Structure 1
């Protein structure tokens, strides 16, 4: 009789340490006061990925012109945005931080950070370093990748951890526009308004970027034409911010059942005189008014938390522009904020990182 073949015991791997989860949004002033707004603008706009011109030019432009003159005007607008809970972007960020920590449990340490101002990325990573974490997952709160947003977060995180003697595994979430629960979150919000009113047109307004930043990202110089190149989403243009925005619209339109010709993808928040990606949201609004469109439902799918660009720019300023152009009914679809589907999206992103 042959001797039985003895199998070696199956080794069990014991998980040691915890995973740090750094949630990073763009940022907000600490208060709507002029000094705090000026401080925020200086840090934000001095980022070379935001205004990508030579340092000396950027320094004098920001500190000599934009921050001194724009801060008082921006402070007035921030006062419109502010509530008893402060900035909605930071308020919802704190809520999401707590809810995600509860769902993920004790094997994770979740921290909210802002790319600009507080709580800072430096403070969050310093705490992670002291905890001796097994690994770190960085989740920029930007559905579509752009150098000026997600890329800036990457750069800041890497600038900090490169000085550590011991660097744990660091994983970054690049984009999440295709995530089914992210899409479903906006779809559910949209359906609520579409069930209550028959809108003539739907606008999907995304944060804008200078065309030069899109062109610089096309390293093979074969994709960007600022026209038909964004009509489909494929391997050659998957890293293009504009193409990602158009793909986000296609996914939302598909699930909302919006017919062709009844919606427009456009871009807001221009700064300066150089060409930005088109079509511009304010131009689209004027054109809709001229065509006799009387009601519009407006989405802002590049933002996951309500902020100046959603509540004030899209919700108030564009509403006034639409009415001045002959429109009658303008409705903003709020951001995901603390929507349960947004929390579920984050859980999936963290666990699959």
Structure 2
């Protein structure tokens, strides 16, 4: 067997909750051309001239609400995931982030240090679904560093696992205990993306968002279609849980800017639901395998306030899988399948 190492890759986090650190992090994040896919001059104007100066203080306050004594929840949980996986897999494992530390070179060098004869690295993007602003940019970032630094070992990438039976079962089991309480609906809230990102990742140029049921009509574009993949995750998890369609719905959170994004919007739906008779709500965020700002602050704090403040009676955020044993077993199995 080839001498190999494993890199777990997640989004990343600011180094601290200070405004300067948020400014640095947000600049790196939002200047990514796969996140804000505008011409460089316009992206620079928007990010450095408008968004970062305005958002940095607000983001710093948001991070302060969810920051743990050990540090950023996302970083802490990714490291705990690494430790748990090390109990299941004998290959050396390290972590890298798309934005901030640790950088790709640090991850590669950490593996080489322990294994100078390294022959291949398995990159595990911790994104269940394909999107140019998450999975694609993370993979491209690691590939670029691999090529630029001239490493001789092979680099292989785990594909999105949105419909992997083990992942679906682990997701369902992480939700199941919360279904014991009285609830009206379960909301699957996914990270949103602009509609144009869906169109850009359609290799056919003629399928995505062209018909009402395009996500259910077989197409090669489904391999890279975020909208299809999150829809399938919702359908499969709901089926595994035995939930009828009347007991769940799907929405998209974290909108940025005024361009058309995937709908419906979580931020719009949460205050609307109580008026529709949905008084007791469960919310889960399957875009993320580790809890982070978008789940702990946006959904568990602000989302709860929006729902209860508009007539909701009970609101339960269901944590990400984090280091749930079944999820660890599933991820280990996915990695072992790489040849």
Tell whether the 8 Å contact from 2:94 to 2:110 is kept in structure 1 after alignment. Answer: no
Gap regions ≥5 residues in structure 2? none
Structure 1 residue 210, shift from structure 2 partner: 0.5
Question: Structure 1 residues 222, 307: CA separation in 2 closer, same or farther (over 3 Å shift)?
Answer: same
With the length of structure 2 as denominator, give the TM-score of the two structures: 0.95
Give 1 or 2 for the bigger CA radius of gyration.
1
Structure 1 residue 224, shift from structure 2 partner: 1.4
* Distance in 2 between residues matched to 1:296 and 1:233, nearest whole Å: 32
User: Which residue number in structure 2 is paired with residue 82 of structure 1?
Assistant: 67
Structure 1 residue 232, shift from structure 2 partner: 5.3
- Structure 1 counterpart SS, 2:245: coil
* Distance in 2 between residues matched to 1:63 and 1:165, nearest whole Å: 32
2:229 equivalent to 1:222: no
* Distance in 1 between residues matched to 2:285 and 2:107, nearest whole Å: 28
* Distance in 1 between residues matched to 2:12 and 2:150, nearest whole Å: 29
User: Which residue number in structure 2 is paired with residue 27 of structure 1?
Assistant: 12
* Distance in 2 between residues matched to 1:212 and 1:274, nearest whole Å: 9
- Structure 1 counterpart SS, 2:208: coil
2:89 equivalent to 1:109: no
Within 5 A, what are the aligned runs for 1:1-353? 15=1, 18-105=3-90, 108-129=91-112, 131-195=116-180, 197-225=181-209, 227-231=212-216, 234-353=219-338
Aligned residues: 335
- Structure 2 counterpart SS, 1:103: coil
- Structure 1 counterpart SS, 2:88: helix
Q: What are the superposed Cα offsets for residues 288-315 of structure 1, whole Å, 9 maximum, x if unpaired?
A: 2221211011010010001111111111
* Distance in 1 between residues matched to 2:215 and 2:203, nearest whole Å: 16
* Distance in 2 between residues matched to 1:152 and 1:73, nearest whole Å: 26
Question: Structure 1 residues 72, 212: CA separation in 2 closer, same or farther (over 3 Å shift)?
Answer: same
- Between stretches 153-162 and 178-187, larger displacement belongs to 178-187
Structure 1 residue 285, shift from structure 2 partner: 2.0
Tell whether the 8 Å contact from 2:7 to 2:107 is kept in structure 1 after alignment. Answer: yes
Structure 1 residue 87, shift from structure 2 partner: 1.2
Question: Structure 1 residues 165, 303: CA separation in 2 closer, same or farther (over 3 Å shift)?
Answer: closer
- Structure 2 counterpart SS, 1:48: coil
User: Which residue number in structure 2 is paired with residue 7 of structure 1?
Assistant: none
Structure 1 residue 199, shift from structure 2 partner: 0.6
* Distance in 1 between residues matched to 2:178 and 2:329, nearest whole Å: 23
Tell whether the 8 Å contact from 1:223 to 1:237 is kept in structure 2 after alignment. Answer: no
Tell whether the 8 Å contact from 1:294 to 1:328 is kept in structure 2 after alignment. Answer: yes
Tell whether the 8 Å contact from 2:36 to 2:43 is kept in structure 1 after alignment. Answer: yes
Structure 1 residue 234, shift from structure 2 partner: 5.0
- Between stretches 53-62 and 301-310, larger displacement belongs to 53-62
With the length of structure 1 as denominator, give the TM-score of the two structures: 0.91
* Distance in 2 between residues matched to 1:163 and 1:72, nearest whole Å: 35
Structure 1 residue 164, shift from structure 2 partner: 4.2
Tell whether the 8 Å contact from 2:119 to 2:152 is kept in structure 1 after alignment. Answer: no
- Between stretches 120-129 and 86-95, larger displacement belongs to 120-129
- Structure 2 counterpart SS, 1:223: coil
- Between stretches 262-271 and 214-223, larger displacement belongs to 214-223
Tell whether the 8 Å contact from 1:20 to 1:137 is kept in structure 2 after alignment. Answer: yes
Gap regions ≥5 residues in structure 1? 1-14
Tell whether the 8 Å contact from 1:233 to 1:244 is kept in structure 2 after alignment. Answer: no
